[in-house]
Amino acid sequence: MERTLILVKPDGVQRGLVGEIIARFERRGLQIAALKFLSVSNALAEQHYQEHAGKPFFRSLVDYITSCPIVAMVVEGPKAIDVCRAAIGATDPLAATPGSIRGDYGATIGRNLVHGSDGPQAAAREIELFFSPSELHQYDRSLTRWIAE
């Protein structure tokens, strides 16, 4: 099983899309391992976006993610990172596939609704930023065998 971090960003929360976004991942067969509603501090935002430090848009990323509460979750399943990134769609919603979250609900890069880790190392780092080990849950679901061999 692979785990990844998903954030429903402030625009997703403000637009009332939290339930729809969570449902998209569950319908793909992914299992929620952790879930919380939180306000992101400046320090956490700067850690989360550290790879963009020094870039012209860094401050606007930090200001945006701290502007409203978000929903953070860890989802798991076979190839969870790839499955989530496909469900999310391209960073630019105008280039995102119809049927993806961004393709169906997004309009601009700056308000693209969801963050998903882009690889295993990023997922491990990001999960650790948002969740303590005691907040991560592992449990058996009877339908798992109907999703993956």
Q: Check which CATH number belongs to the domain holding 33 and give it.
A: 3.30.70.141
pLDDT for the residue 148: 77
Give the catalytic positions in this structure: 115
| Average of per-residue pLDDT values in the chain | 95
pLDDT for the residue 142: 80
Average pLDDT over residues 81-97: 96
Residue 92 structure tokens: 């630019």
What is the spatial distance between Cα 36 and Cα 108, in angstroms, rounded to a whole number? 26
**58 domain-assigned:** no
- 0.85 cut: is pTM over it? yes
**126 domain-assigned:** yes
**45 domain-assigned:** no
* Percentage of the chain exceeding pLDDT 70: 100
What is the spatial distance between Cα 141 and Cα 116, in angstroms, rounded to a whole number? 23
Evaluate whether 114 touches 21 at the Cβ level (below 8 Å): yes
Closest CA to 66 of 88, 25, 38: 38
Q: Amino acid letter at 45?
A: A
**14 domain-assigned:** yes
